[in-house]
Chain A
Amino acid sequence: MKKPLLLSLGLLLLFWHITVRAQTYTYIPEKPDVTFLQQLSATCKERYTAEIQALPAKNKKDYLELYEERWTGIKERFDGKEIYTGSAAREYLNRVRAEIVRGNPSLKQLTFDCYFSRTAIPNASYIGHGMILFNMGLFSRLRTESEAAFVLCHEIAHCLLRHTENGINNYVVTLNSAEVQAELRKIKGSEYHKKEQLQKLVKGLTFDSRRHSRDHEGQADSMAVELMKHTRFALGGALSALALLDVIDTDSLHTADCLRRFFNAPDYPFQQKWIAKDGGLLGGHARIKDEEMADSLKTHPDCQARIKALEPAVLRAAQPGAGAFIIDSSRFRSLQESFRFEAIEYAYESNKYTRCLFLTLESLDKRPADPYLVTQVGKVLNGLYLAQKAHTLSKVTALPSPDYRANYNLLLQFVQNLYLENIAAINYYYLRQHHPAMSSYAPFHEAYQQSENFFHL
Chain B
Amino acid sequence: MSTIKASFLPALLATLVCVQPMRGDAQSKLSIDKVYSAYLRNSGTISAKGAIKGYFFLYQSDKIDRHTNEYTLQILDENLNKVRSIKFEDSKKLSLLESAYNGNTLSFLFKNEDNKTLDMKIYDLEGKLKYTYSRAFDKKTDDLMKQYMTLHSDEGMNKNVFDLGEQGFVSVLPMRDGKQRTYEVDYYSSETKKQWTYVPNDDEEKYAFAEYLGSTDSLIILEVMKKNKVMSTKASAHLIAINFVTKKKAWDIDNSTEDVTLLPSSVVSLETGKIMVMGPYFEKDQNIMKDFSRGLAVYEITTAGKITSKVYNTWAGDFAKYLPTNSKGKIDNIGFLYIHKLMKTPDNKLFIVGEGYKRQVSAGGIALMALSGSSAFGATKIVITDMVIMEFNSKYKVVGATIYDKTNNTALANAASDFNSQHVIAAYLKMIGAFDYEFTTGEPDNSSFAVCYSDYERSSEYKGQTFNSIRYNGKKFTTDKIPLKSKASSLKVFPAKAGSVMILEYFKKDKRLDFRLEKLG
A interface residues, Cβ below 8 angstroms from B: 59, 62, 65-66, 69-70, 73, 121-128, 138, 151, 154-155, 158, 163-164, 167-168, 170-172, 175-176, 181, 184-185, 188, 191-196, 198, 201-202, 205-206, 209-210, 213, 216, 220, 245, 278, 280-284, 286, 288-290, 298-300, 303, 388-389, 391-395, 399-403, 416, 419-421
Q: Can you name the residue of chain A whose Cβ is closest to the Cβ of B514?
A: A394
A392-B518, A394-B518, A401-B79 known; A168+B20 contact, CB < 8 A? no
The answer to whether B40 has its CB under 8 Å from any CB of chain A is no
Q: Can you name the residue of chain A whose Cβ is closest to the Cβ of B81?
A: A401
Whether A399 lies near B18 (C-beta < 8 A) is no
Q: Which residues of B contact A403 (CB under 8 A)?
A: 26-28, 81
Interchain CA distance A121-B24 in the complex, whole Å: 11
Interchain CA distance A201-B17 in the complex, whole Å: 18
Whether B62 lies near A194 (C-beta < 8 A) is yes
CB contact list, B355-385 vs A, under 8 A: none
1/0 per position for B153-188, CB-CB distance to A under 8 A? 000000000000000000000000000000000000
The answer to whether B15 has its CB under 8 Å from any CB of chain A is yes
Q: Which residues of B contact A121 (CB under 8 A)?
A: 25
Interchain CA distance A194-B25 in the complex, whole Å: 31
Interchain CA distance A57-B518 in the complex, whole Å: 49
Whether A184 lies near B18 (C-beta < 8 A) is no
A66-B14, A416-B519 known; A300+B24 contact, CB < 8 A? yes
Q: Can you name the residue of chain B whose Cβ is closest to the Cβ of A191?
A: B63
Q: Which residues of A contact B12 (CB under 8 A)?
A: 206
A69-B15, A70-B18 known; A62+B6 contact, CB < 8 A? yes
The answer to whether B3 has its CB under 8 Å from any CB of chain A is yes
1/0 per position for B386-421, CB-CB distance to A under 8 A? 000000000000000000000000000000000000
Whether B4 lies near A288 (C-beta < 8 A) is no
Q: Can you name the residue of chain A whose Cβ is closest to the Cβ of B125?
A: A281
Interchain CA distance A195-B70 in the complex, whole Å: 9
Q: A282 is contacted by which of B62, B63, B83 (Cβ under 8 Å)?
A: B83
A205-B13, A391-B503, A391-B521 known; A283+B18 contact, CB < 8 A? no
Say how far A124's CB is from chain B's closest CB, in angstroms: 4
17 A–B pairs (Cβ distance < 8 Å), ordered by A: A69-B14, A123-B25, A125-B20, A128-B18, A168-B17, A184-B9, A192-B63, A195-B62, A280-B104, A281-B125, A284-B77, A300-B24, A388-B519, A391-B503, A403-B28, A416-B519, A419-B521
Whether B17 lies near A209 (C-beta < 8 A) is yes
Whether B22 lies near A138 (C-beta < 8 A) is yes
Interchain CA distance A281-B79 in the complex, whole Å: 11
Interchain CA distance A411-B344 in the complex, whole Å: 30
Q: Can you name the residue of chain A whose Cβ is closest to the Cβ of B475?
A: A421
The answer to whether B41 has its CB under 8 Å from any CB of chain A is no
A123-B22, A128-B18 known; A419+B62 contact, CB < 8 A? no
Say how far B10's CB is from chain A's closest CB, in angstroms: 6
Q: Can you name the residue of chain B whose Cβ is closest to the Cβ of A185?
A: B4
Whether B83 lies near A192 (C-beta < 8 A) is no
Q: A286 is contacted by which of B18, B83, B101 (Cβ under 8 Å)?
A: B83
Interface size on B, residues (CB 8 A): 58
Q: B18 is contacted by which of A73, A188, A278 (Cβ under 8 Å)?
A: A73
Interchain CA distance A291-B123 in the complex, whole Å: 19
Q: Which residues of A contact B77 (CB under 8 A)?
A: 281-284, 286, 402
Q: Which of B22, B28, B125, B482 has the most CB of A within 10 A?
A: B22
- Given pairs A124-B21, A288-B83, 12 additional interface contacts (CB within 8 A): A69-B15, A126-B20, A154-B22, A158-B20, A176-B3, A184-B9, A185-B4, A194-B63, A195-B62, A284-B78, A286-B77, A393-B518
Q: Which residues of A contact B64 (CB under 8 A)?
A: 192-193
Interchain CA distance A196-B69 in the complex, whole Å: 12
Whether A210 lies near B19 (C-beta < 8 A) is no
Whether A70 lies near B16 (C-beta < 8 A) is no
Interchain CA distance A267-B66 in the complex, whole Å: 69
B interface residues, Cβ below 8 angstroms from A: 1, 3-4, 6, 8-10, 12-28, 46, 53-54, 61-65, 70, 75, 77-81, 83-84, 101, 103-104, 125-126, 448, 471, 473, 482, 499-500, 503, 516-519, 521
Q: Which residues of A contact B21 (CB under 8 A)?
A: 123-125
Interchain CA distance A157-B54 in the complex, whole Å: 46
Q: Which residues of B contact A391 (CB under 8 A)?
A: 482, 503, 518-519, 521
Whether A419 lies near B448 (C-beta < 8 A) is yes
Q: A394 is contacted by which of B10, B126, B517 (Cβ under 8 Å)?
A: B517
Q: Which residues of A contact B104 (CB under 8 A)?
A: 280
Whether B83 lies near A281 (C-beta < 8 A) is yes
Q: Which residues of B contact A280 (CB under 8 A)?
A: 53, 103-104, 125
A121-B25, A402-B83 known; A419+B519 contact, CB < 8 A? yes
Whether A282 lies near B80 (C-beta < 8 A) is no
A69-B18, A125-B21 known; A399+B518 contact, CB < 8 A? no
Whether B9 lies near A175 (C-beta < 8 A) is yes
Interchain CA distance A42-B519 in the complex, whole Å: 42
Whether A209 lies near B23 (C-beta < 8 A) is no
Interchain CA distance A69-B20 in the complex, whole Å: 14
Say how far A126's CB is from chain B's closest CB, in angstroms: 5
Interchain CA distance A395-B519 in the complex, whole Å: 12
Whether B61 lies near A195 (C-beta < 8 A) is yes
Say how far B30's CB is from chain A's closest CB, in angstroms: 9
Q: Which residues of B contact A288 (CB under 8 A)?
A: 83
Interchain CA distance A399-B79 in the complex, whole Å: 6
Whether B16 lies near A209 (C-beta < 8 A) is yes
Q: Can you name the residue of chain B whose Cβ is closest to the Cβ of A159?
A: B20
Whether B17 lies near A184 (C-beta < 8 A) is no
Q: A164 is contacted by which of B17, B28, B83, B519 (Cβ under 8 Å)?
A: B17
Whether B18 lies near A168 (C-beta < 8 A) is yes
Interchain CA distance A191-B63 in the complex, whole Å: 7
Q: Which residues of B contact A206 (CB under 8 A)?
A: 12-13
Q: Which residues of A contact B482 (CB under 8 A)?
A: 391
Whether B23 lies near A202 (C-beta < 8 A) is no
Q: Which 9 A-B pairs have the closest CB atoms?
A: A167-B17, A195-B62, A399-B79, A394-B516, A282-B54, A125-B21, A284-B79, A282-B77, A184-B4
Say how far A163's CB is from chain B's closest CB, in angstroms: 6
Whether B4 lies near A299 (C-beta < 8 A) is no
Q: Can you name the residue of chain A whose Cβ is closest to the Cβ of B65?
A: A192
Q: Can you name the residue of chain A whose Cβ is closest to the Cβ of B46?
A: A282
Say how far A40's CB is from chain B's closest CB, in angstroms: 18
Say how far A352's CB is from chain B's closest CB, in angstroms: 11
Whether A278 lies near B24 (C-beta < 8 A) is no
Q: B13 is contacted by which of A196, A202, A300 (Cβ under 8 Å)?
A: A202
Interchain CA distance A282-B82 in the complex, whole Å: 9
Whether B521 lies near A299 (C-beta < 8 A) is no
A391-B482, A391-B521 known; A399+B81 contact, CB < 8 A? yes
Interchain CA distance A201-B10 in the complex, whole Å: 11
Interchain CA distance A325-B70 in the complex, whole Å: 60
Whether B521 lies near A389 (C-beta < 8 A) is yes
A181-B4, A399-B79, A403-B28 known; A393+B9 contact, CB < 8 A? no
Whether B62 lies near A193 (C-beta < 8 A) is yes
Interchain CA distance A361-B395 in the complex, whole Å: 47
Interchain CA distance A329-B64 in the complex, whole Å: 65
Q: Can you name the residue of chain A whose Cβ is closest to the Cβ of B85?
A: A290
Q: Can you name the residue of chain A whose Cβ is closest to the Cβ of B17?
A: A167
Q: Which residues of B contact A395 (CB under 8 A)?
A: 516
Q: Which residues of A contact B24 (CB under 8 A)?
A: 298-300
Interchain CA distance A66-B15 in the complex, whole Å: 8
Whether A155 lies near B16 (C-beta < 8 A) is no
Q: Which of B6, B75, B84 has the most CB of A within 10 A?
A: B6
Interchain CA distance A188-B8 in the complex, whole Å: 10
Q: Which residues of B contact A69 (CB under 8 A)?
A: 14-15, 18
Q: Which of B1, B28, B70, B518 has the most CB of A within 10 A?
A: B518
Q: Which residues of A contact B27 (CB under 8 A)?
A: 403
A127-B19, A209-B13 known; A402+B81 contact, CB < 8 A? yes
Q: Which residues of A contact B17 (CB under 8 A)?
A: 66, 164, 167-168, 170-171, 209, 213
Whether A188 lies near B4 (C-beta < 8 A) is yes
Say how far A216's CB is from chain B's closest CB, in angstroms: 7
